[in-house]
């Protein structure tokens, strides 16, 4: 099979031939149809996750078809359409799992594309806890970006405390942000999209934004306060200064939900305590959250806007994502 691997931390993405892997107990082999490229793949590329082993195949926005099942697998069979996200499986019984901290499962930590090989390949092995069923009416290319960019923003918004009619700001209009704007609009929020430059304004409106704020030409905190203050700010940007610049736009009791993995941010405690505001981190979700995301998207019409590349051009596709020029997600296909 073909696989695109990172040979060493910081190394290039290289196309190689590998043996098709066999699924072990509790796992399935998935024939990959599409895999989105997420900014978090830079963790794999750069060796930025503790304890990583190389070579490693990135990719945690995977959609394909179950092709073979390992021993002890009852719920899945060859031919099932599945999606696999960042959370590549967990044991379900260690102390961390039992508290719901799947990210920190100690017994069987699997992060797709980080601790196990991901979807930049013709096949991958996935643990069954990681599998989400893909609705019939969602194609593989449409569904793939929903497995990380989608579930992260959808799951974050639905757990943010915002209610219909509230002002919700989405900062950053990349892979995650452009889905965040759509989900927020379909959930009934008044959506302010914040990005840099005027060129994204028409697209933001098309995606459902009520207002567009150019953070290079305007003070985003002041603009949000003019609109009444944001109940929730969904921060998907990759730049800490762009996050800091919007904190002042929170309403009383507002919450900034941090999704983007940016550098340290500084904030005035006085500013937060005066308005009883909070800043909270969020990571994607588990397979059932992905299934909810896929179902919501299928019904509501939320779709990722994608630029499609064949698997063998993964290195070019990755650079396209990193350039910030993609509108808005880059997706690899295997056929």
Ligand X SMILES: NC(=O)c1ccc[n+]([C@@H]2O[C@H](COP(=O)([O-])OP(=O)(O)OC[C@H]3O[C@@H](n4cnc5c(N)ncnc54)[C@H](OP(=O)(O)O)[C@@H]3O)[C@@H](O)[C@H]2O)c1
The site for ligand X (CB under 6 A) is made up of 38-40, 148-149, 152, 172-177, 195-196, 215, 236-239, 242, 259-261, 282-284, 321, 324
**CA 177, 36, 90, 67 torsion: positive or negative?**
positive
Select 288 or 335, whichever has its Cβ closest to ligand X. Answer: 288
86 contacts 59 by C-beta, under 8 angstroms: no
Q: Which residue has the closest beta carbon to ligand X?
A: 174
40 near Zn ion, judged by CB under 5 A: yes
CB of 333 to Zn ion, least distance (A): 18
Please state the closest distance from residue 40 (CB atom) to Zn ion, in A.
4
Torsion sign, CA atoms 216, 159, 37, 327: negative
Considering beta carbons, is residue 116 or 284 the nearer one to ligand X? 284
Kindly tell me which of 66 and 151 has the beta carbon lying closer to ligand X.
151
| Among the residue ranges 103-111, 147-155, 183-191, 258-266, the one whose residues contact Zn ion (CB under 5 A) | 147-155
Shorter beta-carbon distance to ligand X: residue 27 or 112 = 112
**Which helix (H) or strand (E) segment is 185 a member of?**
helix 175-186
Total residues in contact with Zn ion, by rule CB under 5 A? 3
Q: Which of 13, 35, 144, 148 binds Zn ion (CB under 5 A)?
A: 148
Cis peptide before 328 (omega within 30 of 0): yes
Work out whether 126 is an interface residue with Zn ion (CB under 5 A).
Answer: no
Q: In this chain, which stretch among 32-40, 101-109, 231-239, 254-262 interacts with Zn ion, using CB under 5 A?
A: 32-40
**What residues from 53 to 112 belong to the interface with Zn ion (CB under 5 A)?**
none
Q: Which residues, other chains included, contact 310 with Cβ-Cβ below 8 Å and sequence gap of 6+?
A: 332, 333, 334
Rounded distance between C-alpha atoms, residue 181 and residue 193, angstroms: 7
Is the Cβ of residue 86 or residue 123 nearer to Zn ion in the bound state? 86
Among the listed residues 3, 30, 38, 213, the single contact to Zn ion using CB under 5 A:
38
Cβ atoms of residues 243 and 217 within 8 Å: no
238 interface partner picked from ligand X, Zn ion, none, CB below 5 to 8 A per type: ligand X
What is the token pair recorded at 14? 């290289």
Q: Which one of Zn ion, ligand X, none interacts with residue 255, CB within 5 to 8 A by kind? A: none
Shortest distance, CB of residue 69 to ligand X, whole angstroms? 28
Report the partner that residue 236 touches, choosing among ligand X, Zn ion, none (CB closer than 5 to 8 A by kind): ligand X
260 binds, among ligand X, Zn ion, none (CB under 5 to 8 A by kind): ligand X
Stated as kind and residue range, the H or E segment containing 310 is strand 306-310
Q: Which does 3 bind (CB under 5 to 8 A by kind): Zn ion, ligand X, none?
A: none
Query: 1 has which bridge partners?
Result: none
Helix, strand, or coil (residue 272): helix
Pairing of strands 250-258, 230-235: parallel
CA dist 21 and 102 (Å) reads: 26
- Does position 179 bind Zn ion by CB under 5 A? no
Task: For residues 135 and 313, give the distance between their C-alpha atoms in angstroms, rounded to a whole number.
Answer: 28
State the binding partner of 215 from ligand X, Zn ion, none, CB within 5 to 8 A by kind.
Answer: ligand X
Burial class (CB in 10 A: 0-12, 13-18, 19+), 330: buried
Nearer to ligand X, 24 or 324 (CB): 324
**Which tokens belong to 186?**
């379909």
* Cα–Cα distance, 184 to 266 (Å, whole number): 27
Q: Which two tokens stand for residue 228?
A: 């009444």
Residue 332 beta carbon to ligand X: minimum distance, rounded to whole angstroms: 14
Name the site residues for Zn ion (rule: CB under 5 A).
38, 40, 148
């Amino acid at each position: 099979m073909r696989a695109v691997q990172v040979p060493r931390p910081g190394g290039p993405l290289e196309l190689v031939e590998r043996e098709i892997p066999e699924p072990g107990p509790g796992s399935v082999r998935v024939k990959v149809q599409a895999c989105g490229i997420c900014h978090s793949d830079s963790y794999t590329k750069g060796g930025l996750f503790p304890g990583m082993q190389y070579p490693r195949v990135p990719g945690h926005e995977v959609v394909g078809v179950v092709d073979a099942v390992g021993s002890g697998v009852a719920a899945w069979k060859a031919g099932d359409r599945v999606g696999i996200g960042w959370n590549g499986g967990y044991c379900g019984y260690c102390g961390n799992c039992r508290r719901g901290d799947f990210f920190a499962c100690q017994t069987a930590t699997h992060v797709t594309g980080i601790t196990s090989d991901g979807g930049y390949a013709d096949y991958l092995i996935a643990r069954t806890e990681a599998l989400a069923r893909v609705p019939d009416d969602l194609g593989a290319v449409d569904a793939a970006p929903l497995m990380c960019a989608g579930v992260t923003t959808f799951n974050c918004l639905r757990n943010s405390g915002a209610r219909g009619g509230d002002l919700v700001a989405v900062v950053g209009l990349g892979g995650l942000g452009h889905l965040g704007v759509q989900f927020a609009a379909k959930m009934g929020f008044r959506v302010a999209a914040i990005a840099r430059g005027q060129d994204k304004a028409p697209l933001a409106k098309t995606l459902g934004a009520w207002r567009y704020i150019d953070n290079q030409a305007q003070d985003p905190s002041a603009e949000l306060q003019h609109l009444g203050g944001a109940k929730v700010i969904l921060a998907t940007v990759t730049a800490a200064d762009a996050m800091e610049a919007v904190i002042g736009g929170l309403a009383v009791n507002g919450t900034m939900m941090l999704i983007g993995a940016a550098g340290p941010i500084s904030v005035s405690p006085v500013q937060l305590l005066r308005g009883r505001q909070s800043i909270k981190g969020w990571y994607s979700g588990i397979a059932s959250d992905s299934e909810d995301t896929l179902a919501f998207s299928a019904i509501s019409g939320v779709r990722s806007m994608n630029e499609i590349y064949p698997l063998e051009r993964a290195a070019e596709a990755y650079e396209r994502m990193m350039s910030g020029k993609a509108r808005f997600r880059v997706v690899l296909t295997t056929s």
